[in-house]
């Protein structure tokens, strides 16, 4: 999370294939379409409420690809449906400071928050936690945990349960400026020196290289 908070832009990565995750919902999807519901975002929300874990793009693309030729609106109209961010990019947008987002990222974030009230609520809670992390205001942790328990958001509640198991350590991490970053950095450097000399040198040379590096 810390690396995403400090990143200046979304770290692009090839999106993962969703596979056939939507297949079991296709009959319902086509039935709702034939009933006259052509709102992609609304259909997506209905599937999520039924347990669908895939992406908005998968719902849209399958409708465009699989609808019978007698569809009620032209294919071109479907292609104009707004595209939402993949889940990984959405997570990045949720964690970033709003004032540091580019215009197009802010527009995407607005669309995401409008999908469902739970998404909007999740964004507020994530931003509160990120603010605690940035400002070292661990005294707000208990209040945040209470909000999460009332939110009925399983994903955040699971995260909060993990915090409760070691709350004192988490509160300390959200309060103190001290951390083990320097130690971890030195350990990484030591392991790199060790790997570079593996099979080529004994302990005396390794000792000299370590002392020279530090």
Question: Where do the domains of the chain lie?
Answer: 2-79, 87-173, 182-213
Name the more confident of 53 and 175. 175
- The percent helix, strand, coil of the chain (3-state, each to 5) is 70, 0, 30
Handedness of CA 123, 128, 129, 130 (dihedral sign): positive
Q: Is 50:22 a contact under the CB 8 Å cutoff?
A: no
CA distance 89 to 85: 6
Neighbours of 148 (CB within 10 A): 23
Start-to-end CA span in the chain (Å): 29
Kindly report the pTM of this predicted structure.
0.52
Q: Could you tell me where the beta strands, DSSP code E, fall in 95-186?
A: none
100-127 residue pLDDT tens: 988 888 888 888 888 888 989 999 999 9
Roughly what angle, to the nearest 10 degrees, separates helices 154-165 and 117-135? 30
CA distance 94 to 117: 15
Give the mean model confidence (pLDDT) for residues 52-65.
Answer: 77
Handedness of CA 122, 49, 52, 58 (dihedral sign): negative
> At 79, is the pLDDT very low, low, confident or very high (cuts 50, 70, 90)?
very low
Q: Which helix (H) or strand (E) holds 167?
A: helix 167-173
Name the more confident of 7 and 48. 48
Task: Give the three-state DSSP class for 69.
Answer: coil
Q: What is the dihedral of CA 175, 178, 181, 187, to 10 degrees?
A: -140
Q: How many CA atoms are closer than 13 Å to the CA of 29, on its beta-carbon side? A: 27
Give the mean model confidence (pLDDT) for residues 125-146.
Answer: 94
pLDDT given at position 77: 44
Task: Give the three-state DSSP class for 90.
Answer: helix
Handedness of CA 7, 108, 82, 64 (dihedral sign): positive
pLDDT given at position 121: 94
CA distance 64 to 81: 10
Query: Average per-residue pLDDT in the chain?
Result: 80
Name which of 145, 149, 129 is nearest 137 in CA terms: 129
């Amino acid at each position: 999370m810390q690396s995403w908070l400090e990143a200046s832009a979304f770290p692009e990565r090839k999106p993962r294939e969703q596979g056939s995750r939507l297949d079991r919902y296709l009959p319902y999807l086509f039935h709702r379409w034939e009933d006259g519901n052509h709102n992609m975002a609304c259909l997506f929300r209905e599937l999520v409420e039924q347990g669908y874990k895939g992406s908005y793009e998968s719902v849209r693309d399958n409708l465009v690809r699989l609808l019978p030729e007698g569809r009620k609106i032209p294919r071109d109209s479907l292609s104009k449906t707004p595209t939402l961010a993949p889940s990984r990019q959405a997570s990045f947008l949720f964690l970033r400071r709003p004032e540091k987002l580019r215009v197009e990222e802010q527009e995407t974030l607005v669309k995401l928050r409008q999908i469902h009230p739970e998404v909007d609520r999740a964004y507020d809670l994530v931003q509160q936690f990120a603010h605690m992390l940035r400002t070292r205001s661990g005294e707000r942790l208990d209040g945040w945990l209470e909000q999460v328990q009332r939110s009925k958001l399983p994903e955040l509640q699971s995260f909060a349960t993990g915090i409760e198991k070691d709350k004192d350590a988490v509160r300390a991490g959200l309060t103190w400026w001290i951390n083990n970053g320097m130690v971890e950095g030195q350990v990484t450097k030591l392991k790199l020196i060790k790997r570079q000399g593996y099979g080529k040198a004994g302990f005396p040379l390794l000792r000299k290289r370590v002392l020279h590096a530090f």
